[in-house]
A and B are shown apart, each in its own frame.
Chain A
Amino acid sequence: MRWNVLRVVVTLLAVLGLSLAALGQARYPNKPIVLVTHSSPGAGGDIFLRNLAKYLEGIVPVPLVVENRPGGASARAVAYVATSPKDGYVLYGATPTMLQTPLLTKTQYSYLDLQPVANVFFDPMILYVRADSPWKSLRDVIDEAARRPGQIRFGAATPGSVEHMIAHHVMSVAKVKVQPVTFEGGGDLLVAVLGGHVDLGVGEYAEIASQVQAGKVRVLNSFTDKRIPGTAIPTAKELGYPIVVEKFRGLLGPKGMDPEAIAFWEKAIQQVLRKPAYQMYYRSVYQVPAYMDHVQYKLYLDRMNVTLRRYLKSIGLVE
């Protein structure tokens, strides 16, 4: 009798254990997840994902592995993710580069072959001048541009980038002409502004924040929707110029990705953005949390894509 009870208990336990294991198998996630970036190790996109992975520890119960697939200006990374299994174990850490490249070159895959999962951050863009510049606000710049059309040297990154797009938005919104000057990176541009080789620059706030604190450059305004948290920098919108352009950073998976995995990540991103240690970090580098769920993100990317295409057309880079 006793023996039988024991057998029943053991059997029950075994069944329970098996079904628990089976349940564990079914639940997403149950194996390491790969986060793909088109950046080289140490570059912006790479650091974003590695930090995200670090602070997601404890929220995502499986290891997160960052894989660098540089080359082809994001085309290789997009192709890799687009052709990955749809079970949600390969995700792409996206930036606007993902939209630009297919517009400028013929690529096999574009963001339309990906499933937006969630947006995480906006990197705020700002307009800045050297501290001894007479300009105090975007309005001064525009007045001067109206007086001397095409003479103001407006430093920005490569055409096709969001920085360069801002220069063009300023021209079309204020109906003035400036001379956009291309630089390969935000750092190079900052040196050119500090050295007086260009009159003003547009860039990420994080790149120039320390020069602002040191009093070497002055920020005129941001191109964000709301003021950058923790600063008193006015937005272009407040000044009457509705120019809002952001560098987004978010996650996408292959098209047709498992809805359960999407839901899991939407929750995980919201949780990690609330984690105090992560908040302390992302505030220190002036990244603005900008969570969007997969529906909002899809709409946002579609809109951004149209804006980018229209702008590339206006500067003659696409037909």
Chain B
Amino acid sequence: MRRADLVAGMLLLAVAAVYFHQSLFIARGFADRLGPAFVPRLLAGALAVLALALLVRAVGGRSEATPPPEARTGLLVVVLALLVGYALLMPKVGFLWATPVLLAAVLLALGVREPLPIALTAVGVTAALYGVFGRLLGVLLPGTPGRL
């Protein structure tokens, strides 16, 4: 956990810095006394202090002892890549084409190897989602006719 806390502390300091930097570009306006940048700067300061506390604690070796459990990070990255690909491509190829592919790919990635259940899930879940959201609730899913 110590190394994780060190990394997190650095990262959070960076977040606080970027956030503070962005707050410099907020138009002030004359509408109220504190202004739209006051609370953000307060938050950036508080985050920086807490991140420093985290770092000091980690350097001093007082971090929590329990390490996080083993993670299958590789698998998560694969699923994440699939999701990002889906978010990029779905508006272009349409909901009804992209969704079954995503569902099947996620199932494959998670180690399912039976073709029939994969196909049925991919098509069935897509159809159910389209029926409920697209038709019944009138959500304008990309590449599908809306509800009239």
In-complex A–B contact (CB below 8 Å): yes
A interface residue numbers (CB < 8 A to B): 32, 63, 65, 67, 159, 164, 180, 182, 315-318
Which residues of B are found within 8 Å of A318, using beta-carbon distances? 27
Q: Give the distance in Å from the alpha carbon of A180 to the alpha carbon of B30 in the complex.
A: 10
Does B70 make an interface contact (CB < 8 A)?
no
- Beta-carbon contact of B148 and A159 below 8 Å: no
Which residues of A are found within 8 Å of B146, using beta-carbon distances? 65, 67
The majority secondary structure among interface residues of chain A is: loop
Does B28 make an interface contact (CB < 8 A)?
yes
Measured CB to CB, the closest approach of chain B to A64, in angstroms, equals: 10
- Beta-carbon contact of B30 and A316 below 8 Å: yes
The majority secondary structure among interface residues of chain B is: loop
B interface residue numbers (CB < 8 A to A): 27-32, 140, 146, 148
Which residues of B are found within 8 Å of A316, using beta-carbon distances? 27-30
- Beta-carbon contact of B29 and A65 below 8 Å: no
- Beta-carbon contact of A182 and B31 below 8 Å: yes
Measured CB to CB, the closest approach of chain A to B101, in angstroms, equals: 27
- Beta-carbon contact of B148 and A32 below 8 Å: yes
Asked if A159 meets B29 with Cβ closer than 8 Å, knowing A65-B146, A67-B146, the reply is: yes
- Beta-carbon contact of A180 and B31 below 8 Å: yes
Which residues of A are found within 8 Å of B140, using beta-carbon distances? 67
With both beta carbons as reference points, the residue of chain B lying nearest to A315 in the complex is identified as B30
- Beta-carbon contact of A63 and B148 below 8 Å: yes
A-B residue pairs, 10 tightest by C-beta: A159-B31, A316-B30, A316-B29, A317-B29, A315-B30, A317-B27, A65-B148, A315-B29, A316-B28, A315-B31
A-B contact pairs, 16 of them (CB 8 A): A65-B146, A65-B148, A67-B140, A67-B146, A159-B29, A159-B31, A164-B31, A315-B29, A315-B30, A316-B27, A316-B29, A316-B30, A317-B27, A317-B29, A317-B31, A318-B27
Q: Give the distance in Å from the alpha carbon of A63 to the alpha carbon of B147 in the complex.
A: 12
With both beta carbons as reference points, the residue of chain B lying nearest to A314 in the complex is identified as B30
Q: Give the distance in Å from the alpha carbon of A121 to the alpha carbon of B27 in the complex.
A: 33
Q: Give the distance in Å from the alpha carbon of A63 to the alpha carbon of B146 in the complex.
A: 13
Which residues of B are found within 8 Å of A315, using beta-carbon distances? 29-31
Measured CB to CB, the closest approach of chain A to B95, in angstroms, equals: 16
With both beta carbons as reference points, the residue of chain A lying nearest to B33 in the complex is identified as A179
Which residues of A are found within 8 Å of B28, using beta-carbon distances? 316
Measured CB to CB, the closest approach of chain B to A312, in angstroms, equals: 9
- Beta-carbon contact of B148 and A182 below 8 Å: no
Which residues of B are found within 8 Å of A32, using beta-carbon distances? 148
With both beta carbons as reference points, the residue of chain A lying nearest to B30 in the complex is identified as A316
Which residues of A are found within 8 Å of B31, using beta-carbon distances? 159, 164, 180, 182, 315, 317
